Amino acid sequence: MNPRRKFLSGAGAIAGAMATASVARAAMAALPEPVLQTRPDTMPPLQPASGRPYNPVVTLNGWTLPWRMNQGVKEFHLVAEPVVREMAPGFKARLWGYNGQSPGPTIEVVEGDRVRIFVTNRLPEATSIHWHGQRLPNGMDGVSGLTQPAIAPGKTFVYEFVARRPGTFMYHPHADEMVQMAMGMMGSWITHPRAPNPLIEAVDRDYVLLLNAYDIEPGSATPKIATMLDFNLWSWNSRVFPGIDPLVARQGDRVRIRVGNLTMTNHPMHLHGHEFTVTGGDGGPRPLAARWPEVTADVAVGQMRQLEFVADEEGDWAFHCHKSHHTMNAMGHDVPNMLGVDQRDLAGKLARLVPGYMAMGERGMHEMSEMEMPLPDNTLPMMAGDGPFGPIGMGGMFSVLKVRRGQRRGDYADPGWFRHPPGTQAREVAGPPQPAPRAPDATSDARPARAGDTEVRVRKPGPHAGH
């Protein structure tokens, strides 16, 4: 069955159940049927069909979990289970997640809602869910061993509490966390304000994503779970560029991007072309006096941050983590700097030992983004993504904010690449080549050579060097 149909029929079934007054009490006492979603597409915002109204979020390459109302309580059913996640076209990872995906579905509720969440464990080991950032009774906090026994495989637990304060939160296991988070178990939680709040602006587009990271050997599909820092896939909602959808806005829209970090390091999130304000996070809305314009905001481990701005500049604006190693896909980092090193001699010798050896790096690594290198199955190129003017040469934690005058309100469809108005784009200088001005040769004014000095000869890259 088409998973999207399954998703829609699941949502429809729930709406139907809520609309039908004649549903038997016994049926309502049963667990809500779990709704699954396996497509990696960004699903449209889930408009609330019951309960208090709110303006829904859009989970980048994800979805929101439908609920059913049971005598005034919002009931959700999360199923912890092994999943297959397409992290980008051409690369699927075997992860653990919830309801068919990693991360799990976003949960959206309204301040003051009474929420009941059933959690069924279909993993081979015990788990629990911690509701990060929530005010709740201690016994609902989900720390296995401390506030509850762990949920054994095959068992279902129920959590129930009132969503007491509005904000941007997340959920994740508090049982064998190192393994379960390295395998992709996490999800976002949004508590919308119940009434207009002077510290929470209404926005036209409200995106949410979780930063996560995996260590998956090229050619394999299962993350290494003991990796502490040297991950090779830096992802948003378990997707890597070019597998991350663009963030689309109509020119003039007020946009909020909610970012949570469940990796093992911090991520400076950088937006081109606009200034944003950090309006709050998992601690709640920020006082106005604590807000100022930024173009980069660090999201530390275990934090959530809301970046807000008016998308008033048309164009295709990069939005990415500013750690340059986090905007690349699987690669080994144990490589020497080959800039300016003449490898012609070496390449021939190595090719005799290692068939197919390619010398690279002499003129930088941009050529990696164009090279058709043989890759193991189920492996992404390190730098990928084709733009309208050539390879983008990015991977990992990178996407594009697409601001368009003609984008309709509430339309999240990709508008394609930006067409720059004439005269507004960097271009090659016409005419005969000019001698490039250069600084005095740094080596010529050095002290005279002494015995014992080593002379290193480098061949400067020229337009036809290296072939």
Binding footprint of Cu ion on the chain (CB under 5 A): 267, 321, 323, 326
Nearer to Cu ion, 94 or 323 (CB): 323
Nearer to Cu ion, 180 or 235 (CB): 235
CB 460 → Cu ion: shortest distance, Å? Answer: 33
Report the alpha-carbon distance of residue 330 to residue 181 in Å, rounded.
19
Residue given tokens 């733009």 in the structure block: 387
Note if the bond before 242 is cis, omega within 30 degrees.
Answer: yes
Give start and end residues of each alpha helix (H) in 164-233: 177-182
CB 114 → Cu ion: shortest distance, Å? Answer: 37
Nearer to Cu ion, 171 or 236 (CB): 236
- The DSSP H or E segment spanning 394 is strand 390-394
CB 404 → Cu ion: shortest distance, Å? Answer: 28
CB 237 → Cu ion: shortest distance, Å? Answer: 14
CB 272 → Cu ion: shortest distance, Å? Answer: 16
Residue given tokens 């080549």 in the structure block: 433
Nearer to Cu ion, 321 or 401 (CB): 321
Nearer to Cu ion, 100 or 395 (CB): 395
CB 240 → Cu ion: shortest distance, Å? Answer: 12
Of the candidates 242, 390, 381, which has an alpha carbon nearest to the alpha carbon of residue 320? 242
CB 346 → Cu ion: shortest distance, Å? Answer: 34
Nearer to Cu ion, 74 or 267 (CB): 267
Q: What is the 3-state secondary structure (H, E, C) of 428-439?
A: CCCCCCCCCCCC
Nearer to Cu ion, 242 or 284 (CB): 242
Residues paired with residue 97 on neighbouring β-strands, in sequence order: 81
* Whether the Cβ atoms of residue 119 and residue 144 lie closer than 8 Å to each other: no
Of the candidates 51, 317, 64, 309, which has an alpha carbon nearest to the alpha carbon of residue 204? 309
Nearer to Cu ion, 194 or 323 (CB): 323
DSSP 8-state symbol, 377: T
Terminal C-alpha separation, the chain = 53
Of the candidates 228, 104, 241, which has an alpha carbon nearest to the alpha carbon of residue 173? 104
CB neighbour list of residue 268: distance below 8 Å, 6 or more residues apart: 296, 297, 298, 299, 321, 322, 323
* Whether the Cβ atoms of residue 380 and residue 217 lie closer than 8 Å to each other: no
Amino acid, res. 295 = V
CB 282 → Cu ion: shortest distance, Å? Answer: 18
Report the alpha-carbon distance of residue 304 to residue 302 in Å, rounded.
7
Residue 83 tokens read as: 């999943």
Nearer to Cu ion, 295 or 371 (CB): 295
Nearer to Cu ion, 46 or 382 (CB): 382
CB 184 → Cu ion: shortest distance, Å? Answer: 17
- The DSSP H or E segment spanning 230 is none
CB 178 → Cu ion: shortest distance, Å? Answer: 20
* Whether the Cβ atoms of residue 255 and residue 249 lie closer than 8 Å to each other: yes
